[in-house]
Structure 1
């Protein structure tokens, strides 16, 4: 591990010199790439400096315990060592976690898709609740979100809603939300007061760029239709909404949030590109690990990742067996603890498998 850290430190110093060269500064692509590498390496180098100081302090304290003649000073050194060793264990874990290769998609923006699954009208209402929960979380994170397409439920909520989310490390945090979310509560549509179970499925797709997926426009059928959402006087008067059908894959994407047909087409292409990229990612992940499941799942209650129990104010994440009893706060976007625990669990698995830079 020490050799790896030294190599990273050398590379950091090399990048810090390259990034100030005029030919690099004038090339936005190279500068952006090196800036990101400088930032990522800097985090490791910063922790490595703390790690080295702890190593030095521990070595000096141990030397004092062995060679110091004054018993009082030796006792003080033993007490100091008792404080330093746990810090070293903690720092050791931090360093090992930093050395886990970062998912190259973590820094990407995302396309978020929420769909009502099992449960009819109540599933659509719950899909709306889940989407609102995410909107609150995005606000807390300082991310920007824009709705691209939606189909409203008969009694509220959404049968389907798709939005784009932009910000720092959006996919890195949101990727754990993919799967089926199950709710247990008395539906608004239930007159007998009985608890029902329904579900909504969530897909988090890393936003793909043109270099990731090449789309042959000859393979895409383009249809236009009238918008049904908020858009001022142009709504239901112009054919600004766009539907793309990718013939080879059968994927269908719609976008209607812009007044401009051209802008809607560009946004729909972005969603189509991300869905095709997700298919490529899934094929790759399946080849690497047979344990990796489809992001969206079936929308059925048998394929659940999290349960929201309203009568008990309980939320349970079934992947890590983590339960909290603060459902109102969670539905207001307080999902950071779930995301952090899932990230830690994933990193623990990767460390166990021996994945390092």
Structure 2
């Protein structure tokens, strides 16, 4: 019943947690380059240690139940102990699943370090639907930003390209928070489809449009090494907000990573240096995501799951306005509160996706 190898692993993690806990409390430690990474480790290890303490309590309770079953002469007490024992065994299995999920952060050789606890880069792009797709992208952008505000995350616009009439053709956000930012948003990657009567439709016909969402985990310099000789840098005049400054200086930056053909643009800052820095961050995240996608696809074949593969070509969700319905096609789940959903109440759907992924 008691898994000795698991206990040994948990004891090592507890020891590491206590060591990190002491280190980050030392004066001037926050100035070190690895401070953020230590905090990420601390966050995950804290969760492991808390689950471990709960795990030990359950093991102790099972031992007590076994003693009653073996030695107590009261049949009613024995039956009660047997019932409680089976409940605790189910809890134990559930805790082991949660622990196994958290263990992934230790697998550094597999470049999978605290994945869910990273900040994220969120990319939205129009698909089919012309101007209506641009309007829908703006609606989805509003949905996400309202969600971020509800849970206390911060975001910055890295790049934005306006639509022909209204809305956006493309927008990229830098999302930061003290919870599982990437762990929550990763389920949003894929094609989002809308069914509604466009404002531009005079005859009241329902149209179908689509946008693509891509979620990238933010990475550190030490995790992705980019040779600057492999990058083609171009500058151009910004087309965004900025008054007279827009037409006078070439502050916008376009980076092309020649080996992978990945292209990144940034024009939101007035400084070319700041735009270059932001574009580099996006570029690193995209290269890193390409590496991780290969691993995720291998896993998804084994697990027969498309929930967290990050495949951007998969139609994951439909927003049906006439029926006030949001449907996630991966888990066949519908929520009949489209207005609330579009106002940022998306956590329930994310939780459904998490539970599905954890239980397959």
Q: Which has the higher mean CA deviation after the structures are superposed, 91-100 or 111-120?
A: 91-100
Aligned positions, number: 342
Q: Does 1:146 align with 2:146?
A: no
* 1:110 corresponding residue in structure 2: 120
- When normalised by structure 1's length, the TM-score is 0.84
CA distance in 2, matches of 1:13, 1:278: 30
1:204 aligned residue (197, 203, 215): 215
8 A contact 1:48–1:95 mirrored in 2: no
Q: Which has the higher mean CA deviation after the structures are superposed, 189-198 or 229-238?
A: 229-238
Q: Secondary structure at the match of 1:235?
A: helix
Q: Which has the higher mean CA deviation after the structures are superposed, 235-244 or 80-89?
A: 80-89
- Distance change in 2, residues 1:35/1:2 (3 Å): farther
Q: Secondary structure at the match of 1:99?
A: helix
- Residue 196 of structure 1 deviates from its aligned partner by 0.9
8 A contact 2:55–2:95 mirrored in 1: no
Unpaired segments of 5 or more residues in structure 1? 350-357
Q: Which has the higher mean CA deviation after the structures are superposed, 259-268 or 24-33?
A: 24-33
Q: Does 1:330 align with 2:341?
A: yes
8 A contact 2:17–2:45 mirrored in 1: no
- When normalised by structure 2's length, the TM-score is 0.83
- Residue 32 of structure 1 deviates from its aligned partner by 5.8
8 A contact 2:14–2:49 mirrored in 1: no
Q: Secondary structure at the match of 1:112?
A: strand
Residues 237-257 of structure 1: CA distance to partner in whole angstroms, max 9, x if unpaired?
322221223333332211111
2:187 aligned residue (176, 182, 194): 176
CA distance in 2, matches of 1:213, 1:30: 15
Q: Secondary structure at the match of 1:316?
A: strand
Q: Which has the higher mean CA deviation after the structures are superposed, 142-151 or 28-37?
A: 28-37
CA distance in 2, matches of 1:317, 1:23: 41
CA distance in 1, matches of 2:34, 2:265: 35
* 2:355 corresponding residue in structure 1: 344
Residues 187-219 of structure 1: CA distance to partner in whole angstroms, max 9, x if unpaired?
111111111111110011112332233333333
- Distance change in 2, residues 1:48/1:76 (3 Å): same
1:120 aligned residue (108, 130, 144): 130
Query: RMSD in angstroms over aligned alpha carbons?
Result: 2.9
- Distance change in 2, residues 1:128/1:92 (3 Å): same
Q: Secondary structure at the match of 1:254?
A: strand
- Residue 316 of structure 1 deviates from its aligned partner by 0.8
- Distance change in 2, residues 1:196/1:288 (3 Å): same
- Distance change in 2, residues 1:292/1:6 (3 Å): closer
Residues 223-278 of structure 1: CA distance to partner in whole angstroms, max 9, x if unpaired?
22222323355233322221223333332211111111110111111112222222
- Distance change in 2, residues 1:63/1:115 (3 Å): same
